[in-house]
Amino acid sequence: MSTPLGSAKSLVDTDNGEISREIFVNHDLYKQELEQIFGRAWLFVGHESQIPKSGDFFSSKMGEESVILTRDRAGKIHVFLNSCRHRGMKVCRYDEGNTTNFICPYHAWSYTTDGRLVGVQDYDNLYRPPFDKGEWGLVEVAQLANFHGTIWATWDKNAPSFEDYLGEATFGLAGALRAWDGSDGETELLGSVQKWIVPNNWKFIAENFAGDNLHVVSHRSVEMVGIGPGSNGRRDDYGEAKRAAYPGGHGIVYSLVPPKKTFVQYSASPVTSDYFQERWEKRLEKLGDQAGIFPLIGTIFPNMSFHGQQPRTLLLAHPRGPQETEMWRFYFVDKGAPAEVKEFLRRYYIRYSGPAGMTEQDDMENWNYASSASDGLIARRHPYHYKAGLGRGGKDPVIPGHVTTKEAPGTEQNPRALYKRWAEFMDAPSWDALR
Ligand code: FES
Ligand SMILES: [Fe+2]
């Protein structure tokens, strides 16, 4: 398959580090992304702590489409297209809640939380012969995966398993989802999800969190003001950073904290500081040499990004058009943390991230103006520059992937890996060709 402008590969020259601006502004390419990428890739849908009980649901999105993440009566998790099989009405118009059935407001067809169509108006009288309700249930995703509490889905039955899709990035994502003491599955969402719209292509966000170290300069004022959780307004030094790129298009930045370190960064709240120190000691016991490996930020291709540890949040960049994206931020805390810790983190998280977060605002301003200044006739003729650290990096003894260490900290290898995979998705006719 080729794009309206030729092959996607011809727009994305990652060997040479030049990428056409068209992929950030062009309407036809955007339509093709919805089909080729969002119609086939594994996408993050939500977290199991959002639907702990039978009947709980959370309205999410896959690409531009509305989906329902829900837990049925038997406790099984499902993801359905939020569109009635009768005439397409949204069967669920709430952001989240609990229900026994999804009842369509249009003509009152009703569906159970396992997606079966059970109620049809005047069924016995109107439908002769009766139609088989078993064939008209909600449309369900082709595959679903629960990865350490995060729920992922794909519309493509031929996609590989989620772990194969992650490849070696499994190491980093699993690490990012651990509780602070290193244990599995002991985190939960703090409150609900923050949602807002930004005027730029979704890929600006994906590449930023995959590892665009050079942009950190634009956060200088925030660092000077000191919005960090330390009593001096600073964040702790997280030790040496290593950038890892993966063939699946994922990019993760790790930090390696020396095992003896004491954590002082939450010193603005002594209770929080004590909590993290105690968790850190447990973590050292549990994980040993691996305890100090923190996935700091990352992007799982295509559009799920995260802050691994400080803060610990997740960001979804839902496409809405070539130059419009809906951002969703999920904030996480340890389930068992004291209330003061959760409250301290809540304040810190939203001071840092989200629509009013000071660091996030710096990023949004960059994406906003870069986006509008790239849309013009003349601007589009000139590619973006991704040449930093070309040819650098290699295998690392600790971190899997193609790793670049302090010899080239500003490397743009992770964005390059993301766009390489982007082009493969755009050109490949099927998952067989993508493997
Ligand atoms: S559209 Fe849902 S019942 Fe008609
Ligand atoms: Fe940033």
Q: Is 153 domain-assigned? A: no
Q: Which pLDDT belongs to residue 264?
A: 63
pLDDT band of residue 321 (cuts 50, 70, 90) is very high
What digits encode the pLDDT tens for the residues 48-100? 999 999 999 999 999 999 999 999 999 999 999 999 999 999 999 999 999 99
Pick the residue whose CA is nearest to atom 3 on ligand 1.
Answer: 107
Average pLDDT score over residue span 16-31: 98
* Ramachandran assignment for 33, one of left (phi > 0), alpha (psi -120 to 50 degrees), beta (any other): alpha
Do 63 and 22 lie in a common domain? no
Q: Is 158 domain-assigned? A: no
Q: Is 257 domain-assigned? A: yes
Do 390 and 401 lie in a common domain? yes
We report the CATH number of the domain holding residue 206 as: 3.90.380.10
SS (H, E, C) 193-212: CEEEEECCCHHHHHHHHHHC
Q: Is the pTM here over 0.95, yes or no?
A: yes
Q: Which pLDDT belongs to residue 282?
A: 93
Residues 6+ apart with CB under 8 A from 307: 209, 296, 297, 313, 314, 315, 353
Average pLDDT score over residue span 393-414: 97
Q: Which pLDDT belongs to residue 310?
A: 66
Do 81 and 21 lie in a common domain? no
Q: Where are the beta strands (DSSP E) in 114-239?
A: 117-119, 143-147, 150-154, 187-189, 194-198
Do 354 and 209 lie in a common domain? yes
* Closest ligand, as measured to the CA of 84: 1
pLDDT at 327 over 70: yes
Find the residues whose C-beta lies inside 6 A of ligand 1: 84, 86-89, 104, 106-109
Structural domain tally of the chain?
2
d(CA 291, CA 299): 22
pLDDT at 284 over 80: yes
Candidate of 80, 81, 87 to mutate for ligand 1, largest count of ligand atoms within 8 Å of Cβ: 87
Choose between 222 and 34: higher pLDDT.
34
Do 122 and 33 lie in a common domain? no
pLDDT at 36 over 80: yes
Do 113 and 262 lie in a common domain? no
Average pLDDT score over residue span 114-131: 97
Range of the domain at 134: 43-144
Helix axes 339-352, 270-287, angle to 10 degrees: 100
Do 106 and 192 lie in a common domain? no
What digits encode the pLDDT tens for the residues 218-236? 999 888 888 888 877 877 7
The Cβ-side half-sphere exposure at 257, using a 13 Å CA radius, reads 21
Do 127 and 267 lie in a common domain? no
Q: Is 356 domain-assigned? A: yes
Q: Residue 91 CA: which ligand 1 atom is closest? A: 2
Average pLDDT score over residue span 326-355: 94
Average pLDDT score over residue span 9-21: 97
Q: Which pLDDT belongs to residue 308?
A: 84
- Distance (angstroms) between ligand 1 centre and the Cα of 120 equals 9
We report the CATH number of the domain holding residue 98 as: 2.102.10.10
Average pLDDT score over residue span 20-31: 97
Q: Is 18 domain-assigned? A: yes
d(CA 81, CA 383): 37
Average pLDDT score over residue span 267-290: 90
d(CA 150, CA 147): 5
Q: Is 58 domain-assigned? A: yes
Average pLDDT score over the chain: 95
* Ramachandran assignment for 112, one of left (phi > 0), alpha (psi -120 to 50 degrees), beta (any other): beta
pLDDT band of residue 4 (cuts 50, 70, 90) is confident
**Lowest mean pLDDT: which of 195-209, 230-244, 268-282, 297-311?**
230-244
Cis peptide before 160 (omega within 30 of 0): no
Average pLDDT score over residue span 141-146: 98
Asked whether the beta carbons of 394 and 385 are under 8 A apart, the reply is: no
Do 329 and 428 lie in a common domain? yes
Cβ atoms within 10 A of the Cβ of 47, count? 22
Dihedral sign (CA 112, 158, 322, 317): positive
Beta-ladder partners of 143: 154
Q: Is 149 domain-assigned? A: no
* Closest ligand, as measured to the CA of 102: 1
Do 297 and 220 lie in a common domain? yes
Distances (CA, A) of 266 to 45, 179, 370, 395: 31, 16, 35, 34
Average pLDDT score over residue span 245-271: 87
Q: Where are the beta strands (DSSP E) in 280-429?
A: 293-300, 304-307, 313-321, 324-334, 384-385, 402-404
Q: Is 343 domain-assigned? A: yes
Q: Which pLDDT belongs to residue 228?
A: 81
Do 254 and 372 lie in a common domain? yes
What digits encode the pLDDT tens for the residues 412-423? 999 999 999 999
Do 187 and 307 lie in a common domain? yes
